[in-house]
Homo-oligomer: A and B are copies of this chain.
Amino acid sequence: MHTPLCDQIGIEFPIFAFTHCRDVVVAVSKAGGFGVLGAVGFTPEQLEIELKWIDEHIGDHTYGVDIVIPNKYEGMDANLSADELAKMLQDMVPQEHLDFAKKILTDHGVPLTAEDNESTLQLLGWTEATATPQVEVALKHPKMTLIANALGTPPRDMIEHIHAEGRKVAALCGSPSQARKHADAGVDIIIAQGGEAGGHSGEVGSIVLWPQVVKEVAPVPVLAAGGIGSGQQIAAALALGAQGAWTGSQWLMVEEAENTPVQQAAYVKAGSRDTVRSRSFTGKPARMLRNDWTEAWENPDNPKPLGMPLQFMVSGIAVAATNKYPNESVDVAFNPVGQVVGQFEKVEKTSAVIERWVQEYLEATNTLNELNEAASV
């Protein structure tokens, strides 16, 4: 599965792994893939600590950082500093929404501490003002060779700045028109993410979206995302013209991940029909396991989810509880994952996943070859 993009990036397999866990970034890159750290939840200071740790453990390998600068969000035109913007947005969160969020949690027996309450007002990296310092931190690390934007075309001056520092830019899209905007802005790698994907995604399925984006932006390389958790699925992506796979859900299910055993058990139990595209955590439709939290925000009698990034300021308390009180929060936890969750049977070592995918990929391409040979006899 070695594609031209592998040589451009300097990796063995075109397997890009999005994860919030630095240990997974290191394990993937050391196994021949390319680890990408999701930065949205880190302050610049925390991100510096994470990247320093990665640098020290990843050897000669490289890695990426994923930021979130949405194309549209509350306060985007305010032209404020990060602190000013946070203050303005905090004041925009209705008390009704905070009260409702806390009620859902207390109704489910999730303890609420003063610290939890405070965490509801964190803005995190959901805006250009808060993502830009993350980019600055990332660019100080020479082994960090790719910055990806999860939700929109990165600002043109940011792209130029990253290029001037000798690094590449990637961006996710859910339609050919969005891919065209990315390519026109100078994005180096387009990630076409089908509606099957965990987290923020559109509605067009991978099998349809991938070849449309490949055709739209050729010769810009395209990574296929959404529904990839096996080597056969990577073979399908490459048959459709992608140069590699951008994957996320699988890395929740590796030994190196920080996800709790309760969360991983929920993923093993879930079928593909147990996920839902919900605005209840981030304010934009993101795929996750359906549970009492997502259902509560769907109910028309309850407060409607706010826009991005306001809703995450409300849901932050539930996100924190997912980690701090895994048993108590099992029915209201933040469990972002794609439809590929239906394939998950167990927690594996990261290196074992990469090896399995390579093997499955070869089996799939062998199957196609045998069919061609049988047909030509």
Contact = CB atoms under 8 A, between A and B. Distances in A.
Given A1-B371, A208-B343, A232-B211, A271 B175 contact: yes
A269 to B, nearest CB: 14
A206 interface: yes
Given A212-B342, A342-B212, A204 B273 contact: yes
Contact of A211 (B2, B212, B230, B362): B230
Contact of A239 (B203, B211, B340, B365): B365
Nearest to A236: B236
A151 B375 CA distance: 33
Identical subunits present? 2
A169 B367 CA distance: 26
A372 B195 CA distance: 29
A78 interface: no
A271 B362 CA distance: 34
Interface string A146-186: 00000000000000000000000000000111000000000
A210 to B, nearest CB: 9
A204 B339 contact: yes
A237 B235 CA distance: 10
A287 B365 CA distance: 32
Contacts of A371: 1-3, 238
A194 B202 contact: no
A1 B368 CA distance: 8
Interface in A335-377: 338-340, 342-343, 362, 364-365, 367-369, 371-372, 374-375
Given A212-B272, A343-B212, A207 B235 contact: no
Given A1-B375, A367-B239, A371-B2, A205 B233 contact: no
A93 interface: no
14 contacts: A175-B272, A176-B271, A196-B205, A204-B342, A205-B205, A212-B272, A232-B240, A232-B241, A238-B367, A239-B364, A241-B367, A362-B372, A365-B369, A365-B372
Interface SS majority for chain A = helix
Which of A195, A209, A367 has the most chain B CB atoms closer than 10 A to its own CB?
Answer: A209
A339 B208 contact: yes
A272 B239 contact: no
A31 to B, nearest CB: 16
A227 B239 contact: no
Contacts of A237: 236
Nearest to A231: B239
A5 to B, nearest CB: 11
